[in-house]
Amino acid sequence: MFSDSHAFAGFSVDDIAAARAFYGDVLGLHVSEANGMLTLHLAGGGRILVYPKPDHKPATFTVLNLPVDDISAAADGLTAAGVELERYEGMPHDERGIVRPPKPEYGPPIAWFKDPAGNVVAVLEIGAHPAAEGAPTPEGAPAGRAGAEATSGRGDGRVNLQLSVYPLRQPHLRPAIQAALRAAAGERVDVTVGRLSTFVSGDEAAVFAALRAAFAAAAASGSTVVVATLASGAPTDETLAAIQGSLGDAARRE
């Protein structure tokens, strides 16, 4: 129905002027303003509407993901600009505030910060993960040309989701994560569980329903960050089987 629609996302803030200064001057995004609202013009042609809301409440999820080639340089630049990186209890932040998974296949290095309205923004390094710009490389699919070949086997119109759940300030992390996975699996999708992220595949409506259900289930346990990457490509069954086997071997060694 909307396959040709030039869709865009949006989120609210409590101060348009502060948002324009932050996203335009601090983060360096191209920002335009009309009718009391902002439009963030993203590389690649994407747009995000930022609108004022008198009773604004900060989003409980990440409103914007900013891929970079060098997350250390990005973190240093944010800190120099006076932006404080968030540090969440139970997560292995380094001295800069970056969470670096122990192995590349577990996901990209990532850090979070907030805009003046309290909305969460993420910066993540994809320099070593070029497939993140298109199809995800869930559970360790090879990057570069090999990764592209591994994802070329499914051109059937299915939507693919790489999902990571990060419970915040909770005494135990596993209940929220397990609740999210159970909720996603109940939406007629295929679910492949990894060490730090989960791969979900199905038709568009089912995948988005799974994302909504997973977020609602995780958020019911308390404050939660959910990072989602959507794509129209996916690894072949053979690639997934090989990856899961290697992860199982690694887990047994640990």
Per-residue pLDDT tens over the stretch 78-106: 999 999 999 988 788 999 999 988 776 66
141 belongs to a structural domain: no
60 belongs to a structural domain: yes
Q: How confident is the model at residue 20 (pLDDT cuts 50, 70, 90)?
A: very high
How many domains in the chain?
2
For the segment 167-183, what is each residue's pLDDT rounded down to a tens digit? Answer: 887 777 778 888 888 88
206 belongs to a structural domain: yes
For the segment 33-67, what is each residue's pLDDT rounded down to a tens digit? Answer: 999 999 999 987 889 999 999 999 998 889 999 99
Same domain, 162 and 109: no
166 belongs to a structural domain: yes
CATH code of the domain containing 67 = 3.10.180.10
CATH code of the domain containing 199 = 3.30.70.930
The DSSP result for the chain, as a single string, is --TT----EEEEES-HHHHHIIIIIIS--EEEEETTEEEEE-TTS-EEEEEE-TT----SSEEEEEEES-HHHHHHHHHHTTPPBP--TTS-B-TTS-B--SSGGG---EEEEE-TT--EEEEEE-TT-GGGGSS--GGG---HHHHHHHTTT--SS-EEEEEEEEE-S-S-SHHHHHHHHHHHHTTS-EEEE-SS-EEEEE-HHHHHHHHHHHHHHHHTTS-EEEEEEEES----HHHHHHHHHHHHHHHHH-
pTM, rounded to two decimals = 0.53
Domain housing 196:
152-253
Same domain, 111 and 183: no
